[in-house]
Structure 1
């Protein structure tokens, strides 16, 4: 990870441990969200946790091994972006989210914004 102001170091600074996030996700996965906000939070935290796992695997394993984690992270990121496009202000006009890295960067930006909102 780098110190890019829009990169993973910034987005995931002071985030809960990945294991704690995975436990939170697993607990919530067994029940339906009670509101659109809770549904979005679930999708966001899941996408962020999977992105963090993919970043770890990329840094610590071979590209072949990391491919599955990256693919899963991209799918979760696309799921969040699609949800936001259907329920929020995100659109897919033009090239807002043109590739896998764009979707994962979107998750990082949204996670950072969400964490800041939680702290206020």
Structure 2
């Protein structure tokens, strides 16, 4: 067990602006990455950007308005988790017990770890 902070604030501290991330994603979406590392980075950054958008929508709009952003964020988070399970860095043992919040929390953990590795 660690005493590291968790949650969206810890995951996205010092992250690039959402607009910059969306531009990065859009640029790379036209020519998908060819290496597994680049493909995972694309999926991770996309899931994190969509999670951040959903967090913003949840904080600034009604639940009905935020629903689409949340659904899209969950789909991207599940996509990342499925990719990681298929490529060996995650097991789906007990996946039937995982909920939407679990998948989004997974994205936050992975994004935080990725950003930390980028800074090292």
- The structure-2 alpha-carbon separation of the partners of 1:90 and 1:57, relative to structure 1 and needing over 3 Å to count, comes to same
TM-score, scaled to structure 1: 0.94
- RMSD, aligned CA: 3.1
For residue 5 of structure 1, report the CA deviation from its aligned partner. 1.5
- Structure 2 stretches of 5 or more lacking a match? none
Partners of 2:61 and 2:67 in 1: how far apart? 10
Post-superposition shift, 1:8?
Answer: 0.2
Query: Would the alpha carbon gap of residues 93 and 76 (structure 1) be closer, same or farther in structure 2, given more than 3 Å must change?
Result: same
Q: Deviations over 1:62-85 (max 9, x none)?
A: 000000000000000000000000
How far apart, CA to CA, are the structure 2 residues paired with 1:3 and 1:69?
31
Matched length: 120
Unaligned runs of 5+ in 1: none
Q: Name the SS for the 1:48 alignment partner.
A: helix
Alpha-carbon distance in structure 1 between the residues aligned to 2:56 and 2:80: 21
With normalisation by structure 2, the TM-score equals 0.94
